[in-house]
């Protein structure tokens, strides 16, 4: 399952950090952040609860960029 999320981030470097953090999150198969459109595309592992995984993604992203936002 793949979903698109709106994000808020200040710079391209921060967006890259968010992408790396999202990809390290359990339950995420692949995540891509587009700084220009302020969107994050997330492909989930089979059988996971996307809402729960995205809560962990947001927590992991805030560890590397504390003022970022993902609109769930």
Residue 67's CATH number: 3.30.70.100
Q: What is the pLDDT along the chain (72 residues), one digit of tens a residue?
A: 999 999 999 999 999 999 999 999 999 999 999 999 999 999 999 999 999 999 999 999 999 999 999 998
- pLDDT value for 46: 97
- Looking at the 3D structure of the chain, how many domains does it have? 1
- pLDDT value for 43: 98
- pLDDT value for 62: 96
Provide the domain limits for residue 47. Answer: 2-71
Burial level of 34, CB count in 10 A (0-12/13-18/19+)?
middle
């Amino acid at each position: 399952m793949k979903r698109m999320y709106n994000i808020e981030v200040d710079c391209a470097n921060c967006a890259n950090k968010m992408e790396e953090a999202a990809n390290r999150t359990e339950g995420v198969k692949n995540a891509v952040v587009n700084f220009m459109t302020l969107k994050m595309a997330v492909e989930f592992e089979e059988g996971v609860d996307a809402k729960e995984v995205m809560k962990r993604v947001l927590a992991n992203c805030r560890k590397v960029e504390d003022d970022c936002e993902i609109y769930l």
